Amino acid sequence: MEIFTDVKGRAGLDCGGFCEFCFYKNVNFKHLTPIGCKNCPPEQIGCSYCNNFINRVSSDFKPLSQVLKDITEKYYQNFMNPLFHKDLKIIVGGGADIFSYPYINELITTLKDRDALLHLGYTSGKPIKDESMAENLISFGVDEVSFSVFSTNSDIRNRWMNDETSDASIKGLKMFCENIDLNASAVIIPGINDEDHLFETCADLEEWGVKSFTLRRFANFKYQGLILNDKPVINDINPHSYDEFKDLVRRVENEFSFNVLGYPFYDPKNDSPFTISKKYNRVYLENLKDITSEATIITSKLAEPFLKKIFGMVDKSNFVNIVSADKEIADLITHEDLKSLNLNELKSKVIIPGGAFVHDDYSKKLLSKDGNDRLIVRGPYVLTYPYNEGEHLTTKEELIKFELKSFNALIDKINS
Ligand code: SF4
């Protein structure tokens, strides 16, 4: 089992400077309006959950005593559960670079007194000023690190991550790969670190023994998922389309032996997301419940074709229509996206994504603006398996089981 603790930290400021591609680079945290979410009280837009989403990357690091208290409390809350002690892993994350946490050494030495694996995530490597840092962390007993690589080319790292000691960072990366589990990731920008540069990085990572590699498509526009800012992160860069990006992920998977994942989500090995939409898995759709009521499902641009395909096969009476907002990721749908929907397309019951950053009552107001009083219901939190960073890779059967359960929960919402 896992215990997760968050040491906080300010993106960019506590990373040794902003990377050029950092989503938070242009965000003015002092002038953000509350966004709203599933946990907000009826009369208020903004609550601790969605405020934390914003503040998570704009708060100072927590004192060591607070981090240790949080871990101790979680440890004893679960202590009596016999499964808890099996393969116990403590994951230390933050809003910025974990290697910049001022008490990192004390934290690790204290945590290693417990009989647990220790995972640090994530670092950009920029705080590594010479190899001795990596050497020390390994000798203190760190078992696993998540590392944002961007490229193993020192000049590219220097230019795009503003990494002044990029040679040392790469040496540290190599040392982690060779000695402990290292999950690498890279934001992929066309013309900067894709194609030949990417394959060179992959070849280095494979030679050094990386455990997994997650490719993250660079998002530069609101429709791709920027919700805290109107401006592009980098001017004049047009990121890969999802299909172009999937192709790149697939080519990396074909050529290298480590585990590969892409975000927006794509698992080439299991042909996921929405494994049940694939032709060879259609037989599993028989396990979905009958649809007996009308509803509109609001979803993202990327999920829309999958949902249309699945409901096209199981919704024999055409009770359900699928409408996509102008956002590629469903959980990042905001009030602005709801405002731009064509209300003529909406039925009297509307299902919105479970995790969308919208306020329930305000959404009802927006989606009933044409005088039709619509019922707004949140769907399941996820419809396809949300695993990440090379963790929890499962079999195709498990993925299918997960999706069938989620879609049956969605059908329950439609029918209720
Ligand atoms: S390391 Fe990550 S959080 Fe820090 S500036 Fe770079 S992209 Fe942003």
Q: Do 242 and 330 lie in a common domain?
A: no
Q: Are residues 247 and 387 in the same domain?
A: no
Nearest one of 97, 99, 168 to 129, comparing CA atoms: 168
> In this structure, is residue 279 part of a structural domain?
yes
| Res 387: pLDDT | 65
| Own/partner long-range contacts of 165-168 (Cβ < 8 Å, ≥24 apart) | 165/126, 165/128, 165/129, 165/130, 168/128, 168/129, 168/130, 168/131
Mean pLDDT of 145-159: 98
Q: Give 235 Cα–ligand 1 centroid separation in angstroms.
A: 18
Of 215, 216, 219, 225, give the one whose Cα is nearest residue 238.
Answer: 219
Residue-wise pLDDT for 23-33, tens only, equals 999 998 888 88
- Dihedral sign, Cα of residue 94, residue 95, residue 97, residue 100: negative
Residues 121, 237: one domain?
Answer: yes
User: Is the pLDDT score of 79 beyond 90?
Assistant: no
Instruction: Compare 54 and 390 and report the one with higher pLDDT.
Output: 54
Residue 242 sits in a domain of what CATH number? 3.20.20.70
For residues 85 and 186, state if they share a domain.
yes
Contact 328, 315 (CB under 8 A): no
Averaged pLDDT, 168-183: 98
pLDDT at 338 over 90: yes
Please state, rounded to an integer, the average pLDDT across all residues of the chain: 94
Q: For residue 268, tell me if it sits in a domain.
A: no
Length of the chain: 416
Domain final residue pick, 263, 284, 306: 263
Beta carbons within 8 Å of 76's beta carbon, 6+ residues apart: none
> Which numbered atom of ligand 1 lies nearest the CA of 17?
5
- Provide, rounded to the nearest whole percent, the portion of the chain with pLDDT above 70: 98
Of 263, 289, 313, the last residue of a domain is 263
Q: Do residues 181 and 211 make contact, with C-beta atoms less than 8 angstroms apart?
A: yes
Q: Is 182 in the pocket of ligand 1 (CB under 6 A)?
A: no
- Looking at the CA of residue 123, tell me the nearest atom of ligand 1: 1
Ligand 1 atom closest to the Cα of residue 124 is 1
Compare 201 and 58 and report the one with higher pLDDT: 201
* Residue 15, ligand 1, Cβ within 6 A: yes
pLDDT for residue 220:
96
Ligand 1 atom with minimal separation from the 15 CA: 4
Which DSSP category does 85 fall into?
G
Per the structure block, which two tokens stand in for 156? 């590219």
What dihedral angle (degrees, nearest 10) is formed by the CA atoms of 319, 290, 271, 191? 20
**pLDDT level of residue 65 (50, 70, 90 thresholds):** very high
How far is Cα 411 from Cα 405, in angstroms, rounded to an integer? 10
Q: Is 98 in the pocket of ligand 1 (CB under 6 A)?
A: no
Q: Are 143 and 287 in the same domain? A: no
Q: Which residue lies with its CA nearest to atom 3 of ligand 1?
A: 11
**Cα–Cα dist 272/308, whole Å:** 16
| Count of structural domains within the chain | 2
Residue 165 has pLDDT above 90, yes or no: yes
Q: Which of 205, 233, 263 is the last residue of a domain?
A: 263
Express each pLDDT in 265-324 by its tens digit: 999 988 889 999 999 999 999 999 999 999 999 999 999 999 999 999 999 999 999 999
Picking from 82-91, 333-342, 376-385, which range would have the lowest pLDDT averaged per residue? 82-91
pTM of this prediction exceeds 0.75 = yes
Is 115 among the domain residues?
Answer: yes
Span from the CA of 96 to the centroid of ligand 1 (angstroms): 6
Q: Is residue 11 in contact with ligand 1, taking CB distance under 6 Å?
A: yes
pLDDT, residue 394, reads 67
Asked whether residue 181 is assigned to any structural domain, the reply reads yes
**What confidence tens digit (pLDDT) does each residue in 381-405 have?**
999 887 654 456 568 888 899 999 9
Same domain, 279 and 149: no
Residue 60: which domain range? 2-263
Q: Could you give the angle at the alpha carbon of 385 between the alpha carbons of 382 and 389, nearest 5°?
A: 115
95 and 137 in a single domain? The answer is yes
Closest CA to 277 of 241, 317, 312: 312
Residue 358 lies in a domain: yes
Tens-digit pLDDT profile for residues 198-247: 999 999 999 999 999 999 999 999 999 999 988 999 999 999 999 999 99
Tokens found for residue 58 = 């704009």
Structural domain includes residue 270: no
Q: Would you tell me the crossing angle of helices 104-111 and 132-140 to the nearest 10 degrees?
A: 20
Q: Do strands 58-61 and 8-10 pair parallel, antiparallel, or not at all (unpaired)? A: antiparallel
**Is 329 inside a domain boundary?**
yes
Residue 206, CB-side half-sphere exposure with 13 Å CA sphere: 15
Coil, helix or strand at residue 263: strand
**Residue 181: which region, alpha, beta or left (left: phi > 0; alpha: psi -120 to 50)?**
beta
Q: Are residues 59 and 141 in the same domain?
A: yes
CA distance 204 to 217: 20
322 and 394 both lie in a single domain? yes
Q: What is the pLDDT of residue 390?
A: 44
State whether 236 and 188 are in the same domain. Answer: yes
> How many angstroms separate the CA atoms of 289 and 151, rounded?
47
**pLDDT (average), residues 146-175:** 98
What tokens appear for 79 in the block?
């202590």
Predicted local distance difference test score (pLDDT) of residue 388: 55
Whether 390 and 185 have beta carbons less than 8 Å apart is answered as no
Region 150-174 average pLDDT: 98
Mean pLDDT (whole number) for 189-197: 97
What pLDDT, on a 0 to 100 scale, did the predictor assign at position 398? 87
Do residues 214 and 262 make contact, with C-beta atoms less than 8 angstroms apart? yes
Q: Which of 323, 359, 318 is nearest to 342 (CA)?
A: 323
Residue 375 parent element (H or E): strand 375-378
Please indicate, yes or no, if residue 93 is contained in any of the structural domains.
yes
CB 7 within 8 A of CB 111: no
Interval 341-357 mean pLDDT: 97
Going from the Cα of 98 to the center of ligand 1, the distance in angstroms, rounded, reads 11
| 37 and 90 assigned to the same domain | yes
Instruction: Judge if 231 and 295 occupy the same domain.
Output: no
Q: How many angstroms separate the first and last alpha carbons of the chain?
A: 35
Residue 392 is predicted with a pLDDT of 60
